[in-house]
Chains A and B, each alone.
Chain A
Amino acid sequence: MIAALRAEWTKTRTAGGGAWLLAGAVAVTVALSAGIAAATHVSAHSGQEDPTKVALGGIYLGQAVVAVFAVLTISEEYGTGMIRVSLAAVPRRLVLLAAKAATTTALALAAGVLAVTGCLLVGRLMLPGAGLDPAHGYPLISLGDGPTLRAAIGSVCYLVLIGLLALGVATVVRDTAPAIAVVMGVLYLPPLLAQAFADPLRRHIEQIAPMTAGLAVQATATAHSEPIGPWAGLGVLTAWAATSLLLAALLLRRRDA
């Protein structure tokens, strides 16, 4: 297993594209958060706002880049035929999948920590300019605040789980473009579909869809308006990622390479 891990790490390190994609994920996330912060204006008549959630808004887009990264870790091998070389080197297929999952976890974790830190910094610096300042009853974003810390850690976990979900899908689908399409569909379609329905159906869709459920972990001041509790929501996403990896493991074992 250690050898397989080192091999996977060496693959990621030497492919060139991976590092750029992850740097891109961080940049896109922080940039979108900055954009949202710049566009936010809060007046006295606005309802209750959630500065932490606003600051972490960039994850909405950054997750797509993390997903693409995770898809490519295996779909590119199917594309070039290198998967056969990999499986000849590591014939225990679940070990190969586990090594890929571990590498994806580690790298999504690193990118997630950077992105979330960047988002919160941007929020702390920019949001007071939008009216979300202590004078209006909004304390500055701080990791010393329990719910904010939970939102931060939860967002990092969210990105890791999205990566694992995408890795599983790509292992099942084995082809880059369709795999990316499936992942994007699973992430972004349910929230759009939900809009077509009234509560309680809309709420139920949002409770079981990976993105809406998973992102509930970001809410601090407005947690009551989320479809699902923060950790329960992350649990739903974990179930999605686990199912995806389980299916991937079954098919990887059964299918000819």
Chain B
Amino acid sequence: MNEATIEVTGLRKRYGPTLALDGVSFTAPPGKVTGFIGPNGAGKSTTIRVILGLDEPDEGRAWVGGHAYQALNHPLRHVGALVDAAAVQPSRTARNHLLWLARSQRLDAGRVDSVLGQVGLTAAARRKAGGFSLGMRQRLGIAAALLGDPPVVILDEPFNGMDPEGIVWMRALLRTLATEGRAVLVSSHLMSELQGIADHIVAIGRGKILADAAIEELLTGEQVLLQTPAPAEAAQVLQRAGGATTVLDDSTLGISALSARQVVEALGRSGVAFAEVSTRRATLEDVYFQLTNEETEFRTGTAVRR
């Protein structure tokens, strides 16, 4: 297997009464930014902790470049990860934080200065990390992840607390890392952050994988936007006609899996009033809501049957 691959198969993990992971499987391929998306509490961080050998799954395995994480010698040279940007000792300087990490991987101090430069923290290198803003801590965490020049990079919510300039920087960095051939796994609960940079999407909800596909496959569909005074009735009609609907606001529905013409015909047959029909390209957000909606419908469906 390529060094730069994350492969996760059948992860199941229970914390007390909650099933945090319910059969999670996916692959993050080399040279791609894989967006790991899902609402808070969906199981993103748990999955990442399992990949890093921090949490033990009840079932299933996680492989990095074909190896279990615990079996890696100098693991940070294989996998760089940002798990929690707040996880630094406040009294230690940024440079010293990276220095002990470098020592643990038999890397020389030159790497420390080089990654500090890469994340733009050279000027703050000798300041105590306790005084850093969340955005600066994120940069320090990224520096730690890049320290061992690893073929696999895993970043858990790296956009949190970043200012707009930081977000632009982060997006460019993610692209660069993927272009260099690395497997980049980035989690986020905000789809917009990953729009335009993720090549591959793994969507997770309630511990289950909802989608694992290239972005082009997910973003194929055009979405039909419908303005109607009766969105509930319209949704019913359109779902019967085979469409998937999302309520966007009081009077707007997003419809996929039906063309604009099919929407107009279906509504005409049923005599549901509408004001306007338009189309737009699906965004990552649409796809995501569609995926999570299907999940919700499935759940409410079973509840009703009982």
Identify the A interface with B (CB < 8 A): 3-4, 6-11, 14-17, 76-77, 80-82, 84-85, 87-92, 256-257
User: Is B100 a contact of A7 with CB atoms below 8 Å?
Assistant: yes
A14 touches B76 (CB 8 A): no
Contact with A along B82-110 (1 / 0, CB 8 A): 01101111111100100111011110000
CB closest chain-A residue, reference B68:
A91
CB-nearest residue of chain B relative to A11? Answer: B100
- Rounded to whole angstroms, the CA-CA distance of A7 and B105 in the bound complex is 9
A-B interface contact total, Cβ < 8 Å: 85
Q: For the complex, would chain A's binding face be called helix, strand, loop or mixed by DSSP majority?
A: helix
B143 at the interface (CB under 8 A from A): no
- The stretch from B50-58, B165-173, B216-224, B270-278 touching chain A is B50-58
Q: Chain B: how many interface residues by the 8 Å CB criterion?
A: 32
CB of B235 within 8 Å of the partner chain: no
Q: Are A82 and B87 in contact (CB under 8 A)?
A: yes
CB distance from B206 to the nearest CB of A (A): 20
Given A3-B105, A87-B54; A256-B74 close (CB under 8 Å): no
A3-B54 contact in complex given A15-B89, A80-B86, A80-B87, C-beta closer than 8 Å? no
Q: Which of A15, A81, A92 contacts B87 (CB 8 A)?
A: A81
Across the two chains, which residue of chain B brings its CB closest to A14? B96
Q: B262 in the interface, Cβ–Cβ < 8 Å? A: no
* Chain B residues positioned under 8 Å from A88 (CB to CB): 52-54, 75-76, 81, 83
Task: Given A3-B106, A87-B54, A91-B70, verify A80-B76 contact (CB < 8 Å).
Answer: no
Instruction: List B residues at the A interface (Cβ < 8 Å).
Output: 49, 52-56, 69-70, 72, 74-76, 81, 83-84, 86-93, 96, 99-101, 103-106, 144
Tell me whether B49 and A256 are in contact (CB under 8 A): yes
* B92/A84 in contact, CB under 8 A: no
Once the chains are docked, how many angstroms separate the CA of A257 from the CA of B49? Answer: 9
The answer to whether A81 and B84 touch (CB under 8 A), given A10-B96, A14-B92, A15-B89, is yes
- Residues in A neighbouring B53, C-beta threshold 8 A: 87-88, 91
Q: Which residues of B contact A81 (CB under 8 A)?
A: 84, 86-87
- Complex: A151 Cα to B96 Cα, angstroms: 39
Pairwise interchain contact A257-B89, C-beta atoms closer than 8 A: no
Contact B104 A256 (CB under 8 A): no
Establish whether residues A92 and B91, one from each chain, have CB atoms under 8 Å apart when the complex forms. Answer: no
In the complex the two chains form, is B101's CB within 8 Å of A89's CB? yes
User: Roughly how many angstroms separate A6 CA and B101 CA in the complex, as a whole number?
Assistant: 10
* In contact, A91 and B99 (Cβ under 8 angstroms): no
Asked whether A14 lies within 8 Å of B55 as measured between CB atoms, the reply is no
Interchain residue pairs with CB less than 8 A apart (13)? A3-B104, A4-B104, A9-B103, A10-B100, A15-B89, A15-B92, A87-B53, A88-B53, A88-B76, A89-B104, A89-B105, A91-B72, A92-B70
Question: Does the CB pair B104–A91 fall under 8 Å?
Answer: no
Residues of B within 8 A of A80 (CB): 86-90
Q: How far is the CA of A136 from the CA of B70 in the complex (A)?
A: 65
Q: Which of B99, B103, B104 has the most CB of A within 10 A?
A: B104
A83 to chain B minimum Cβ distance, whole angstroms, is 8
Expressed in whole angstroms, the minimum distance between the Cβ of A23 and any Cβ of chain B is 16
Which residues of chain B come closer than 8 Å to A6, judged between CB atoms? 103-104
Known A91-B75, A256-B54: A14·B93 in contact at CB below 8 Å: yes
Q: Determine whether the beta carbon of A85 is less than 8 Å from that of B92.
A: no
Question: Are B89 and A84 in contact, with the CB atoms below 8 A?
Answer: no
| Contact residues in B for A9 (Cβ distance below 8 Å) | 103
Is B75 within 8 A of A17, CB to CB?
A: no
A4 to B106, CA, bound (A): 9
Interchain nearest-CB distance for A18 vs B (Å)? 10
Q: Kindly list chain B residues whose C-beta atoms are within 8 Å of the C-beta of A16.
A: 91-92
User: Please, which residue of chain A has its CB at the minimum distance from the CB of B99?
Assistant: A10
Closest to B15 in A: A256
Beyond A15-B91, A91-B70, A92-B70, whether A10 also contacts B55 by CB under 8 A is: no
Please measure, in the bound complex, the distance between the C-alpha atom of A4 and the C-alpha atom of B75, giving whole angstroms.
12
CB distance from B74 to the nearest CB of A (A): 7
Among B81, B89, B91, B93, find the residue whose CB has the most chain A CB atoms closer than 10 A: B89
In Å, the complex CA distance between A15 and B91 comes to 6
Question: Which A-chain residue is minimally distant from B74 (CB atoms)?
Answer: A3
Q: Determine which residue in A14, A17, A92 has the highest number of CB atoms from chain B within 10 A of its CB, and name it.
A: A14
Chain B residues with CB under 8 Å of A7's CB are 100-101, 103-104
Q: Which residues of B contact A89 (CB under 8 A)?
A: 75-76, 101, 104-105
Residue on B with the closest CB to A257? Answer: B54
- Least CB distance from A250 to B in Å reads 14
Question: Of all chain B residues, which has the CB nearest A6?
Answer: B103
Residues in A neighbouring B86, C-beta threshold 8 A: 80-81
Please report the C-alpha to C-alpha distance between residue A54 and residue B43 in the assembled complex, in whole angstroms.
Answer: 60
Q: How far is the CA of A16 from the CA of B97 in the complex (A)?
A: 12
> Which residues of chain B come closer than 8 Å to A87, judged between CB atoms?
53-54
Query: Bound state CA distance, A14 and B90, in angstroms?
Result: 11
